[in-house]
Amino acid sequence: MTVDSTGTSSKLGASISDYFALLKPRVMSLVVFTGFAGLLVAPGNLEPLLALISILCIAISAGAAGAINMWYERDIDSLMERTCNRPIPAGRIAPNRALLFGVILNILPVLAMGILLNWVAASLLAFAAGFYIFVYTIWLKRRTPQNIVIGGAAGAIPPMIGWASVTGSVNLESLVLFLIIFMWTPPHFWALALYRDGDYAKAGIPMLPVVSGAKETRRQILIYTLLLVPLTFLPVAFETAGIFYGVVTAILGAYFMWLAIQIVRKGDERSAKRLFGFSILYLFALFAALIIDQIKL
pTM of the predicted structure, to 2 decimals: 0.91
Task: Express each pLDDT in 104-131 by its tens digit.
Answer: 999 999 999 999 999 999 999 999 999 9
How would residue 11 be classed by pLDDT, with cut points 50, 70 and 90?
very low
Supply the pLDDT for residue 12.
Answer: 47
Average pLDDT over residues 171-190: 96
Average the pLDDT over each of 10-19, 138-147, 186-195 and give the range with the smallest value.
10-19
Tell me what percent of the residues of the chain surpass a pLDDT of 90. Answer: 85
Average pLDDT over residues 1-25: 65
Domain coordinates of the chain in residue numbers? 17-170, 171-297
**Positive or negative CA dihedral for 6, 8, 14, 18?**
negative
The answer to whether 204 touches 83, Cβ cutoff 8 Å, is: no
Task: Express each pLDDT in 67-117 by its tens digit.
Answer: 999 999 999 999 998 899 999 999 999 999 999 999 999 999 999 999 999
Supply the pLDDT for residue 148.
Answer: 92
Class of domain 171-297: mainly alpha
How would residue 28 be classed by pLDDT, with cut points 50, 70 and 90?
confident
Task: Express each pLDDT in 237-251 by its tens digit.
Answer: 998 999 999 999 999
CATH of range 17-170; options 1.10.357.140, 3.10.20.30, 3.20.20.70, 3.40.50.2300: 1.10.357.140
Does residue 83 or residue 296 have the better pLDDT? 83
